[in-house]
Structure 1
Amino acid sequence: MAASSNPDRTAVVDGDLRLTTQQLSDLADGGAGVIAQSGAQHVAYVGIGGAMLPTLIFASARAGLSFTPLNYRLSAEGVQALIERLPEPVVIVDSRYRDMVGESSKRVLLSDEFLTAARSAEPATEGLAFPDPDSVAIVLFTSGTTSKPKAVELSHNNLTSYVTSTVEFESAAETDAALICVPPYHIAGVGAALTNLYAGRKMVYLPNFDAQEWVRLIDAEHVTTATLVPTMLDRVVTVLEAGGHDLPSLRNLAYGGSKVGLPLVRRALELLPNVGFVNAYGLTETSSTIAVLGPDDHRVAHSATDAAVAKRLGSVGQPVPGIELQIRGEDGTVLAPGETGELFVRGEQVSGRYTEIGSVLDEDGWFPTRDIAILDEDGYLFIGGRSDDTIIRGGENIAPAELEEVLIEHSHVRDVAVVGVEDPEWGQAIVAVVVPTVGIDPDPEELREHVRKSLRGSRTPDHVVFRDELPTTPTGKVLRREIIETLKGLHA
């Protein structure tokens, strides 16, 4: 559609490589031919992405095969274990990661070799039936921070439902450009490639994030929209605070991937008063975003004197078109607004299907997210963290997010994660792991008292420990299990 509508529009910028929509389509055609000739049953990719991601998404689809971008940040053993779970894959790999792949597949192509072959190959589209909308288009492995990574299956229908319900075709202006620095193996990377192409927006890739380079590219490519995870937003704010950057072309800045501290959001809003901020919440199993807090909501909440409206700045907004939400109690009953429970979602973009496991949707098509959440009276969704992260202290269930939201507001706290560690008396003790504000040496008792003033005494951290930084995934999710491992043996 993009190539037919505007074949000469620049679709992708990746370093020195620039591709029009027609060139990208031709490359995908040739790539499909290379894939078909390999005799493979699946396509895997190990690399930093950039132009390779949209090329392989469409080349794989045109060859009638499922596609899996893999996490190149894993160990060689980790990457090989995932490849071995894929059926007869052809593995396309950036040269720097070739050794990681080892002998896990008998079909391995370097990315440069694939692109060279794709430019001269005969297209594989002749005679191929259009893919069944319910067939698997993309398989993504979950991060597996608490268990063996699950292989999430996203159908063509899941993905196209997400794209067509959230984006209008060719709705972007001719000069619009998106700066993409989320990794290719994350659903946000896949979603960005599809939605920006569909909208008619130039995609500028920054595979290796650097805040100074991010700011430079915004100006150099006249970027109008960008997406960041919390750790990236923090670094960009640091660069902006140093001065000299107004980012005049930037109109929208989306953030997500994990919870963002409100002081950081407020600071970003103040530094970029003419930018529309978007908080996007979604899961791999839901084909990306299912709820959005839009620009107007950000500005209204930021300046609100009404406490209920101001609180919305900490929400992920309201569901996108085509998505239904329910909050359920432990007994499965649907809860009223303001009550805390597990978030369930339903809609065409929701897969809820895993290789080797099958569908986990209930009989009415609802997917259990395992996220603790609240819907307020006006339909704004507040995420309270994963159910797996709940701390049980003296028989009382405590959501870490509740304490984190209080602690992050203290001026001496730059970042914080609250976890539970084994405790002989209480079952679990509450530990606040704090990254202090630069140049500050906080008093643990002052931070405990700060929490005690806002929450019940039973929710006061038993311990406050300090770290230079929190361990996170590339998409900003705090690795709580890793933190807990470093705290073993800590008792009251």
Structure 2
Amino acid sequence: MSELTERLQQQLIAGANRPLMQDANQHWYSGSELNLEENVWKNYWQNKGIGKNDVVLVSLTNSVTYTLVIQSLWEVGAIVQPINPDSTEIQISELEDQYNYSALILNSDVKKLSILNDTFTNHPRLTTLHEPEVQIYLRDVHTHHPIEVPDDEDIALIMHTSGTTGKPKRVGLTHKQLLAGAFNVIDSEKLTDQDRTFILMPMFHINAMVISNLATRLSHGQLLFRPKFSAHLFWKEVSSEMVTWISLTPAIIAILLQRDEQPEHNNLRFLRTASAPLLPSIHQEFSRRFEVPLIESYGMTEAASQIAQNPLELPRQNTVGTITGMKIKILDKDFNELGNGLIGQIALKGDNVITHYLDPQPEAFHDGWLLTGDLGSLDETGYLHIAGRSKEMIIRGGENVNPLAVEDCLIDLKFIREIAVIGTPDLIYGETVTAVIVPKKLSHDHRHQLALLNELANEQLLPVERPTKYIFSTHLPKNATGKIQRTLLAQEVSQQLKEA
């Protein structure tokens, strides 16, 4: 048995008489109830012939059932591939054609997948929990694999990268890598069995899967599952449920700032933010409005979640903190290591970091180091500063423009709800700086807003950084965790400009 699955079992046994998980209806389950349910699932897989190296697609909303299903599959040696529960029948079918899953696990309200009728049979599955049933599709012609306990080096999880800067890649994470990633979180956040957290971000994302789910379970804490974030209920439930910490995104932070609710008396030690850059101006406004420590961090799927986090006792704004549990280098374009203060590509190596992708991507590694594609620098005290994605940097007339710096300047204008700065083609300069703005109020006349934008840009930005195009829109394309898909946005805007 892998150390990961053994420790997950120990959590349920040790907390047999203690409430460990709460479902969306605020029903608590003890460790003994959860252990019984997990064993029912494990026996189910064994009876159906799901075992060593079977890949099972999981498309569920956040729930207690979700974490128990995953644990049971890991214990029989299977591999889990979680995907967005909003995936369409066509998307699921395309994945199945590519990867030939042994089973599919879907929400009960998903209509029967007629497109898979020739390959799978729907097996209804009743749950003993106070949660909806789930649907299970088992492959009709399936080679029964032996039920083997997994080793630490076996793959446990397959996830797609977010695809914000290119085609998503399949990341295979082993039991050992997931365990190391979870303990990096436990150590940096000083998690104990007295901690209690919401899972608000989707479980098919590495943040919720490892940082909220596994780190809490391995530290014997308590989990409260919610299908999605509710701005209206957030502060009320933080108080009533005595939550001690939560992992959020900058998008959620921005939503909380747009509302009038204030936190009541609460037990929060901190909130952490990840999955996308947090603009300094947003961080400052949050700190001014709410007396809750907001801790910035940095992670990626390929590192089993967390790479760096600000120390709880000494957080520094405008940084993502110090490296947790791995090695880091800042490299120039020739892979030479750069000194403190110099910006280059971030490279990683460690027990939680992959050494290859499931689909060969040799250009993503150099001499055993993962090349993240992120740009950053280390200061003299070891804090990491993120400068953006290498593919998102705008190159105008041979000069690099960091879109985050432009966004942080312009977001101060009160009429802006959201902003994304991208590079669009320019015949003379190669790229031009283009700002796509979602205003708080729709208007057909933007002359006054454009005047304010140009005035602020001229005052605070270098000439090369100043946007030459402003586009007003009703939305920005985002992935499931609220991260702006800049590459997709740039493609859409470039096509619009081409057709104009």
Question: Aligned to 1:210, what secondary structure does the other structure show?
Answer: coil
Question: Aligned to 2:425, what secondary structure does the other structure show?
Answer: strand
Tell me which residue corresponds to 1:81: 94
Q: Give the C-alpha shift of residue 138 in structure 1.
A: 0.6
Tell me which residue corresponds to 1:343: 346
Q: Give the C-alpha shift of residue 283 in structure 1.
A: 0.4
Structure 1: gaps of 5 or more residues: 119-126, 299-311
Tell me which residue corresponds to 1:259: 277
Tell me which residue corresponds to 2:319: 315
1:185 to 204, 215, 236: 204
CA contact under 8 A between 2:477 and 2:488: conserved in structure 1? yes
> In the alignment, is residue 211 of structure 1 matched against residue 231 of structure 2?
yes
1-structure distance, mates of 2:347, 2:487: 24
Question: Aligned to 1:161, what secondary structure does the other structure show?
Answer: helix
Provide Cα deviations, 1:61-108, integer angstroms capped at 9, x if missing partner: 111111111112333322322233334321111022244684185154
Question: Aligned to 2:233, what secondary structure does the other structure show?
Answer: helix
Call closer, same or farther: CA 1:348–1:471 in 2, change over 3 Å.
Answer: same
2-structure distance, mates of 1:348, 1:74: 32
Q: Give the C-alpha shift of residue 150 in structure 1.
A: 1.6
Superposition pairs for residues 412-427 of structure 1, below 5 Å?
A: 412-427=415-430
> In the alignment, is residue 197 of structure 1 matched against residue 217 of structure 2?
yes
CA contact under 8 A between 2:18 and 2:30: conserved in structure 1? yes
> In the alignment, is residue 283 of structure 1 matched against residue 283 of structure 2?
no
2:19 to 1, 10, 17: 10
CA contact under 8 A between 1:391 and 1:419: conserved in structure 2? yes
2-structure distance, mates of 1:422, 1:155: 41
Superposition pairs for residues 263-274 of structure 1, below 5 Å?
A: 263-273=281-291
Call closer, same or farther: CA 1:255–1:101 in 2, change over 3 Å.
Answer: farther
CA contact under 8 A between 1:60 and 1:67: conserved in structure 2? yes
2-structure distance, mates of 1:109, 1:247: 47
Provide Cα deviations, 1:231-287, integer angstroms capped at 9, x if missing partner: 212222333x345x42422222111110122222222222332x2322121000100
2-structure distance, mates of 1:39, 1:359: 35
Q: Give the C-alpha shift of residue 369 in structure 1.
A: 0.5
Tell me which residue corresponds to 2:468: 462
Provide Cα deviations, 1:329-367, integer angstroms capped at 9, x if missing partner: 111111111111111111101114322327777464311
- TM-score (norm. length: structure 1): 0.86
Call closer, same or farther: CA 1:232–1:162 in 2, change over 3 Å.
Answer: same
2-structure distance, mates of 1:319, 1:415: 30
CA contact under 8 A between 1:67 and 1:137: conserved in structure 2? yes
Tell me which residue corresponds to 2:34: 24
Call closer, same or farther: CA 1:39–1:86 in 2, change over 3 Å.
Answer: farther
1:53 to 49, 66, 77: 66
Letter in structure 2 aligned against 1:393: R
Question: Aligned to 1:279, what secondary structure does the other structure show?
Answer: strand
- TM-score (norm. length: structure 2): 0.85
Q: Give the C-alpha shift of residue 175 in structure 1.
A: 5.1
2-structure distance, mates of 1:7, 1:169: 27
Call closer, same or farther: CA 1:79–1:87 in 2, change over 3 Å.
Answer: closer
Q: Give the C-alpha shift of residue 418 in structure 1.
A: 0.6
> In the alignment, is residue 490 of structure 1 matched against residue 497 of structure 2?
yes
Provide Cα deviations, 1:281-334, integer angstroms capped at 9, x if missing partner: 100010001100234434xxxxxxxxxxxxx412111111x2111111111111
CA contact under 8 A between 1:93 and 1:111: conserved in structure 2? no
1-structure distance, mates of 2:422, 2:450: 16
Question: Aligned to 1:212, what secondary structure does the other structure show?
Answer: coil
2-structure distance, mates of 1:223, 1:287: 24
Q: Give the C-alpha shift of residue 439 in structure 1.
A: 9.3
2:368 to 365, 369, 372: 365
Call closer, same or farther: CA 1:146–1:449 in 2, change over 3 Å.
Answer: same
Letter in structure 2 aligned against 1:157: K
Q: Give the C-alpha shift of residue 382 in structure 1.
A: 1.5
Instruction: Report which stretch shifted further, 448-457 or 68-77.
Output: 448-457
1-structure distance, mates of 2:236, 2:102: 38
Tell me which residue corresponds to 1:35: 45
Tell me which residue corresponds to 1:71: 84
CA contact under 8 A between 1:215 and 1:236: conserved in structure 2? no
Call closer, same or farther: CA 1:403–1:111 in 2, change over 3 Å.
Answer: farther
Provide Cα deviations, 1:184-215, integer angstroms capped at 9, x if missing partner: 11001211211101112211111122111222
Q: Give the C-alpha shift of residue 14 in structure 1.
A: 1.0
Tell me which residue corresponds to 1:153: 172
1-structure distance, mates of 2:414, 2:314: 25
Provide Cα deviations, 1:151-189, integer angstroms capped at 9, x if missing partner: 110000101112234326997566532011110110012
Tell me which residue corresponds to 1:229: 249
Call closer, same or farther: CA 1:165–1:262 in 2, change over 3 Å.
Answer: closer
Call closer, same or farther: CA 1:111–1:128 in 2, change over 3 Å.
Answer: closer
Q: Give the C-alpha shift of residue 59 in structure 1.
A: 0.6
CA contact under 8 A between 1:421 and 1:488: conserved in structure 2? no
Question: Aligned to 1:67, what secondary structure does the other structure show?
Answer: strand
Q: Give the C-alpha shift of residue 146 in structure 1.
A: 4.8
2-structure distance, mates of 1:195, 1:423: 47
Provide Cα deviations, 1:457-479, integer angstroms capped at 9, x if missing partner: 12211112223443222212112
Question: Aligned to 1:388, what secondary structure does the other structure show?
Answer: coil
Call closer, same or farther: CA 1:113–1:478 in 2, change over 3 Å.
Answer: same
Structure 2: gaps of 5 or more residues: 1-9, 136-145
Call closer, same or farther: CA 1:137–1:233 in 2, change over 3 Å.
Answer: same
2-structure distance, mates of 1:28, 1:97: 23
